Amino acid sequence: MTIKALIFDLDGTLAETEETHRAAFNATFAAHGLDWHWSREDYAVLLKTGGGKERLRAFQAGLPEAARLPEADILRLHAEKTETFGRMIAEGAVGLRPGVEDLILHAREAEMAIAMATTTSRPNVEVLARTCWGRPADRVFDVIASGDEVERKKPDPAIYRLALDRLGMPPRECLAFEDSHIGLQSARAAGLGVVITPSTYTEGEDFTGAAHCAPTLEQRNWPLILKAMLLSY
């Protein structure tokens, strides 16, 4: 089987961004005088829900009804959080995970397409690309499918199906890279083989069904990743 495209998740896969997301949420809550504060333990649970707006809704669903915000306020909070996250990334809060840049360069040299399928919003994709690659996202990735373009987030397969549709390729010609159980479920439901590199928040999750699980995408792991490409379908 010939793999013609690699499809990457963003948060936790390309970069360890989740702690920065958490910090941006908490800074936004504080700026609005809310007594909300998400600990690492809180956020680990909330990450089981794909999408930032969806996490806000999931969080306040557990609050007394009188303490809940209207939907318009949730949307404003999320928009401000996105701006705060963008500033943090632009200031160098995170970089690419080990091996990511080399793997994408190698795939380019092999004339593979490079795509992204992420539940995060397009502004977050842009700021990461400009900070880590010094280029707009559409000059790094041939196809970008972001969370604000689908109604249902991971573990639903919609985001991967959108990426596949834009690539114009069947799942058997593509390989997905993920860090989480919900990401694995999403990609597998779209018919993709999946390589997992667990992140800080997803170590210990169930990755049954992955073609391969590696600590990083560094070159020493490429032989097993190549094997995963050949055996994933």
- Residue 11: active-site member: yes
78, 56 Cβ separation under 8 angstroms? yes
Active-site choice (11, 35, 156, 206): 11
Q: Give one word for 150, left, alpha or beta, with left for phi > 0 and alpha for psi -120 to 50.
A: beta
Alpha carbon distance 88, 93 (integer Å): 6
Query: What is the secondary structure of 73-119 as a DSSP string?
Result: HHHHHHHHHHHHHHHHHHTTS--BPTTHHHHHHHHHHTT-EEEEE-S
Burial label, 182 (beta-carbon count in 10 A; 0-12, 13-18, 19+): buried
- Residue 9: active-site member: yes
Positions annotated as catalytic residues are 9, 11
